[in-house]
Chains A and B, each alone.
Chain A
Amino acid sequence: MNDILLKVLDLLRGLYKLMGVNYPQLRAIVSIKLTMDNRRQVISYRKKENKEPANTFLMTMFFYALFGGFIALGLYGVSSFMLAMVVFFSYIMVMVAMTLITDFSSILLDTSDNTIILPRPVDSRTLFIARTTHIFLYLSQITIGLSAFPALVVLLKYGFVMLLLFIVATTLAVITAVFITNAFYLLILQYASEERLKNVINYFQIVMAVAIMGGYQLMPRIAGRLNLEDYVFEFKWWSFLAPPVWMAGALETWHLKTTDAAHLILTVFAITLPVLGFYVVNKYLAPAFTRKLGVMGVETKTTEAKSTKAGWGMRIAPLITRNRLEQAAFELISRVVGRDRKIKLKVYPSFGYILVFGFIFMFRDQGGFTNAWHNLPDTQSYLFLIYLSFMILQVALYEIPYSDDFKASWIYFSSPLETPGDILAGTVKALFVRLFLPGYMVISLVIGVVWGWKVLGDIVFGLLNNLLMLLILVLINRRYLPLSVAPNARNQAGSFIRGLIVLILAGALGLTHYLLAKSPALLMAAIPVQALVVYWLFNLYRKTGWRQLTL
């Protein structure tokens, strides 16, 4: 497949030369990066390393085409041409920007190019355009996949000319998304250090993950309330600031054969601004980016280390851990979950998901927000909220064995650890205290405000039930030392059965709470029993020996 992409690239040789790029060097760089992309994907799925992948490209296309199919169904159903197109272009641009930020941040900011390519006779423009081309080729897979079915709908509904215009507009939308993302990176790089940029990107990724999940959950509900049959798209002043509206407007100009001012302005914007953006990237941003890249890795060495003052987690560590080993694991994991960007990216979105799910659950089928809020104290929705924050623990427990620095786990094997149970116990305590408790406390506060303190017993019982679920999860699942497994060595064998058992037990615990909630006295009486079971299970987990570990 790479050969075909490179052949396409060869057709643009003239254009590249016009841009002042050394084409043979660009081709060499793009070719090698595409090869590495393929191999990177394969390493994470399969173990046979020296075999060249054949179908990853087609698989990727297939999945994107599937997503595109849903969009196409939407396009077919919506009568407003403008609305349908705005939704499509927004979707394409968000997907492209997301891919750039999630998949390509590491590639765009990869400092290994500093020592491998920068010392070679490659000028900064060629290097930057090669990187951008690499990204474009990758994005073209997504775009072609996503737009295949929508393009078919456009062809059937609006004809061949509109299809051609649709393809041009989609390309311009992708260019605009790349330009905006690159400009965003450069702007931050101009004023912040590499580390700060990575942090900003990290939090941006977390927010986007929540926004996308929230969007998927909330959009259909909102769309259900709108009358899409008779929807008329109205131009507001801010419509002219949104790139998806430019593209949709340009297509509608042809569709309606109109020449009114609004449509003409949008058409001019759609054609000129992406081209202008591309020119600005090539002329000004490219050299600045490469210059900045050159000092990456050097600069950070001299910046001052971040404050490492002991937080509240460190101060309470000696109080809630039983011995030095457990305390050491507690402190290590507390620090890592607060600092490791990969773990934060995986775990922190759960906090946002809780908000989204909580919101949806509290206000479902109630006929309006105010009405739902008014009726809320009469419902038992708080039972759902109590167990919502377990989602954080589930993700954190799944992620904590994996680390890019997995080789550092030699320390567990070279130090005189009699049993690894204390390390596991410290890890679980850290995750519970640092990640679960803050979320649970906020939720308890909300429950207290809405339902009153009559549900205090439920909050305590729920806390212990969450702890029980956590212990069941860690006792049944494979046991790994924290941060000791390579991220691409995830072992899923047997996890389905284990997952099923955990699900059944968790369901039973939830049902118990639901039944006991009807009788507060019984609920209060059950709390000490529950505490004893937690204590017993935790001690059982603490006794984990080397043989019970998956190494």
Chain B
Amino acid sequence: MNPAVIITQNLSKSFKTKVLSDINLTIQAGEIVGYIGPNGAGKSTTIKILTGIIPDFDGEATVLGFDIRKEPLEVKRRIGYIPENAALYETLTPLEYLHFIGQLYKLERTEIEKKGKELLNLFELGNYMESRMTTFSKGMRQKVLLIAGMIHNPSLLFLDEPLSGLDANAVILVKEILTQLKRSGKTIFYSSHIMDVVEKISDRIVIINKGEMIANGTFEELNSQAHRGSLEKIFTELTGNQQHVSAAGQFINILESK
């Protein structure tokens, strides 16, 4: 078995109310783990803790052998993070932005320039390298974010809705990239609402609901418990949200009522 790269013990977080409760996870190197849950379940909070963005939490968390609370910088040097909302400095050009990010990882300027240009070309942004990102579409920004999150070649990737806004070709490319990254030994912690992608690319799926981990296993293992045939159906059963058919009916009834 590969060594564990993420270990959490009773990981919890409260703001005014509890948003994460006793999450116990062990993720091996080379795994793609799909991390799913309804809105407000605590997915982004988990990722923000494991990437060192939120330093105050309860329980223990070790990432790549480092205690995230004590040595967040050691962790940050080795991981890549692609956030959910496409936040980047829009007044910069993609190349300027990548230069900036590369410098924070102490990459050489020539290396950033070379890699940046090649990766932007790969994502069909070659013609926009010198354009400011204020005019970019959501998908174009997402491509820049993906490159910025991986330009330092991290061994562990945290992806929060990475396919958001991407066109069909880019989605296929990213899925292929993730599969090949896994083959080259990288670990991927993948949070998304798009169930069929999670189902296809994940070695293991973790479901959380209302801050609690309610399932953890391969798709086959989860399916053998729920016998539902698809991740979407397993998800709705486990998160207690099976009333979709009747809710849809009610929706139409309300619309049609006077």
State the A residues within 8 Å of B (CB): 24-25, 28-29, 31-32, 35-36, 39-40, 43, 49-50, 112, 114-123, 291, 294-295, 298-299, 301-304
A122–B92 touching, CB < 8 Å: no
B89 nearest in chain A by CB position: A36
A25–B104 touching, CB < 8 Å: yes
Q: Please, how many angstroms separate the alpha-carbon atoms of A334 and B30 in the complex?
A: 56
Question: Whole-angstrom distance from the CB of A406 to the nearest CB of chain B?
Answer: 14
Q: Which residues of A contact B251 (CB under 8 A)?
A: none
Nearest 7 pairs between A and B by C-beta?
Answer: A28-B103, A115-B83, A121-B76, A119-B81, A39-B91, A120-B104, A121-B77
A121–B16 touching, CB < 8 Å: no
B87–A294 touching, CB < 8 Å: no
Q: Which residues of B contact A24 (CB under 8 A)?
A: 103, 106
A291–B55 touching, CB < 8 Å: yes
Partner of B51, one of A29, A50, A119, A301: A119
- Contact (A115, B92) CB under 8 Å given A121-B76, A303-B16: no
B15 nearest in chain A by CB position: A302
Partner of A28, one of B74, B89, B104: B104
Question: Whole-angstrom distance from the CB of B149 to the nearest CB of chain A?
Answer: 8
Tell me, yes or no, whether B73 is within 8 Å of chain A by CB.
yes
B134–A49 touching, CB < 8 Å: yes
Q: Which residues of B contact A28 (CB under 8 A)?
A: 100, 103-104
Question: Whole-angstrom distance from the CB of A307 to the nearest CB of chain B?
Answer: 17
Q: Please, how many angstroms separate the alpha-carbon atoms of A121 and B88 in the complex?
A: 17
A50–B91 touching, CB < 8 Å: no
The B interface, classified by DSSP as helix, strand, loop or mixed, is loop
- Give me 5 other A-B pairs in contact (C-beta within 8 A), A50-B130, A116-B101 excluded: A115-B53, A118-B52, A119-B81, A294-B55, A299-B15
B54–A35 touching, CB < 8 Å: no
Question: Whole-angstrom distance from the CB of B81 to the nearest CB of chain A?
Answer: 4
Q: Which residues of A contact B89 (CB under 8 A)?
A: 32, 36, 112, 116
Q: Which residues of B contact A50 (CB under 8 A)?
A: 130-132
- Contact (A291, B56) CB under 8 Å given A112-B87, A120-B104: yes
Q: Please, how many angstroms separate the alpha-carbon atoms of A299 and B44 in the complex?
A: 12
A49–B55 touching, CB < 8 Å: no
B15–A294 touching, CB < 8 Å: no
The 11 listed contacts between A and B (C-beta, < 8 Å) are A35-B91, A43-B134, A49-B135, A115-B53, A120-B104, A121-B104, A121-B105, A122-B73, A294-B53, A298-B15, A301-B40
Partner of A295, one of B44, B54, B73, B74: B54
A35–B104 touching, CB < 8 Å: no
Tell me, yes or no, whether B236 is within 8 Å of chain A by CB.
no
Q: Please, how many angstroms separate the alpha-carbon atoms of A329 and B15 in the complex?
A: 37
Tell me, yes or no, whether B64 is within 8 Å of chain A by CB.
no
A115–B87 touching, CB < 8 Å: yes
Q: Please, how many angstroms separate the alpha-carbon atoms of A29 and B104 in the complex?
A: 8
The A interface, classified by DSSP as helix, strand, loop or mixed, is helix
Q: Please, how many angstroms separate the alpha-carbon atoms of A304 and B17 in the complex?
A: 10
B96–A35 touching, CB < 8 Å: yes
Q: Which residues of A contact B81 (CB under 8 A)?
A: 115, 119
- Contact (A121, B100) CB under 8 Å given A50-B132, A298-B54: no
B105–A120 touching, CB < 8 Å: yes
Question: Whole-angstrom distance from the CB of B6 to the nearest CB of chain A?
Answer: 15
B88 nearest in chain A by CB position: A116
Q: How big is the B interface, by class? A: 35 or more
A31 nearest in chain B by CB position: B100
Chain B 60-96 interface 0/1 with A at a Cβ cutoff of 8 Å (1 = within) = 0000000000000110110101010101110110001
A119–B53 touching, CB < 8 Å: yes
Partner of A121, one of B17, B73, B130: B73
- Contact (A298, B45) CB under 8 Å given A112-B87, A115-B83, A119-B81: yes
Q: Please, how many angstroms separate the alpha-carbon atoms of A28 and B17 in the complex?
A: 38
A119–B106 touching, CB < 8 Å: no
Tell me, yes or no, whether B186 is within 8 Å of chain A by CB.
no
Tell me, yes or no, whether B19 is within 8 Å of chain A by CB.
yes
Tell me, yes or no, whether B115 is within 8 Å of chain A by CB.
no
Tell me, yes or no, whether B210 is within 8 Å of chain A by CB.
no
Question: Whole-angstrom distance from the CB of A296 to the nearest CB of chain B?
Answer: 10
Q: Please, how many angstroms separate the alpha-carbon atoms of A414 and B52 in the complex?
A: 43
Q: Please, how many angstroms separate the alpha-carbon atoms of A49 and B134 in the complex?
A: 9
Q: Please, how many angstroms separate the alpha-carbon atoms of A294 and B57 in the complex?
A: 12
Question: Whole-angstrom distance from the CB of B159 to the nearest CB of chain A?
Answer: 12
Question: Whole-angstrom distance from the CB of A284 to the nearest CB of chain B?
Answer: 16
Q: Which residues of A contact B79 (CB under 8 A)?
A: 119
Tell me, yes or no, whether B117 is within 8 Å of chain A by CB.
no
Partner of A120, one of B56, B76, B135: B76
Q: Which residues of A contact B193 (CB under 8 A)?
A: none
A124 nearest in chain B by CB position: B55
Partner of A115, one of B15, B45, B85: B85
Q: Which residues of B contact A294 (CB under 8 A)?
A: 48, 53-55
Q: Please, how many angstroms separate the alpha-carbon atoms of A24 and B89 in the complex?
A: 19
Q: Please, how many angstroms separate the alpha-carbon atoms of A295 and B55 in the complex?
A: 9
Question: Whole-angstrom distance from the CB of B65 to the nearest CB of chain A?
Answer: 16
Question: Whole-angstrom distance from the CB of B13 to the nearest CB of chain A?
Answer: 9
In chain B, positions 102-122 with a C-beta closer than 8 Å to chain A are: 103-106
Q: Which residues of B contact A112 (CB under 8 A)?
A: 87-89
Question: Whole-angstrom distance from the CB of A55 to the nearest CB of chain B?
Answer: 18
Q: Please, how many angstroms separate the alpha-carbon atoms of A251 and B243 in the complex?
A: 77
Question: Whole-angstrom distance from the CB of B98 to the nearest CB of chain A?
Answer: 11
- Contact (A119, B76) CB under 8 Å given A50-B130, A298-B45: yes
Question: Whole-angstrom distance from the CB of B12 to the nearest CB of chain A?
Answer: 14
Q: Which residues of A contact B44 (CB under 8 A)?
A: 298
Question: Whole-angstrom distance from the CB of A522 to the nearest CB of chain B?
Answer: 55
B48–A298 touching, CB < 8 Å: yes
B135 nearest in chain A by CB position: A49
Q: Which residues of B contact A49 (CB under 8 A)?
A: 132, 134-135
Q: Please, how many angstroms separate the alpha-carbon atoms of A322 and B89 in the complex?
A: 46
Q: Please, how many angstroms separate the alpha-carbon atoms of A298 and B47 in the complex?
A: 12
A39–B132 touching, CB < 8 Å: yes
